[in-house]
Structure 1
Amino acid sequence: MIIVTGSILAREDSFEDVLRSCLEHVERSRKEPGCISHGVHVDCRNPMRLFFFEQWADEAALRTHFAVEGSKAFVKSLKCRIGETPGMKLYRAEAILR
């Protein structure tokens, strides 16, 4: 399994628009093959920060997700709205209890 984490810092004047876009991306991504979970959450200490947590079946599913036009357009739109490319980290995970 591949785990993806990421966060963005929205501006107050565009927060609602950015959040709406993030939620649309999450809903679209959840329907993709290999998506185990995909969510966006508001940081309880900084309500302008949005945190992403995703789980993908494997690297192939994640690569396919990154290649989807909707995903590319989402990242591009965030870059325009927040002034930077969203940061993310990827992790390989394996179950230790079965």
Structure 2
Amino acid sequence: MIYVIATFRIRPAALESFVEAAYALIDVARRQPGCLYYDLHASVTDPDRVMCFEQWQDRPAFDRHLATPDVASFSAAIEGLVLSSKIEIIHPDSIDTL
């Protein structure tokens, strides 16, 4: 099992558009094989930071998710909304950063 934490710094006033795009992806991802948990959370201390918390059966399931057209559509939809992003993949014995 792996955990994924995707952190996004959003442009001011772009939160609503970002959330709309994120939930379109989350709805699809939750039904993908190997997805155990996928949700979006806003920072309570920084209004321009949101995080996706994900739990996947294994890295291949997450990699299949990343290769879907839905992830490509999400990436295109948020391109002008995001100032920066960081994805951490937490394995039982290591942490990868994308």
Task: Trace 1:46-57 onto structure 2 (pairs within 5 A).
Answer: 46-57=46-57
Question: Which structure is higher in helix share?
Answer: 1
Question: Which structure is higher in strand share?
Answer: 2
1:13 to 2:13 alignment = yes
**CA–CA distance in 1 between the matches of 2:28 and 2:86?**
20
Q: Which residue of 1 aligns with 2:96?
A: none
Give me the TM-score of the superposition, normalised by structure 2. Answer: 0.84
Larger Cα-atom Rg: 1
Give me the TM-score of the superposition, normalised by structure 1. Answer: 0.84
Runs of 5+ in structure 2 lacking a partner?
Answer: 94-98
Is the CA contact 1:3–1:93 (under 8 Å) kept in the aligned structure 2? no
**CA–CA distance in 2 between the matches of 1:80 and 1:37?**
27
**CA–CA distance in 1 between the matches of 2:92 and 2:24?**
26
**CA–CA distance in 1 between the matches of 2:56 and 2:19?**
22
* 1:20-64 CA-partner distances (Å, limit 9, x unpaired): 111221111101110000011000001221011100001111111
- C-alpha RMSD of matched pairs (Å): 1.6
Is the CA contact 2:8–2:49 (under 8 Å) kept in the aligned structure 1? yes
Q: Which residue of 1 aligns with 2:23?
A: 23
% identical equivalent positions: 23
Task: Trace 1:35-54 onto structure 2 (pairs within 5 A).
Answer: 35-54=35-54
Q: Which residue of 2 aligns with 1:92?
A: 91
How many residue pairs are counted as aligned between the two chains? 93
Q: Which residue of 2 aligns with 1:81?
A: 81
Runs of 5+ in structure 1 lacking a partner?
Answer: none
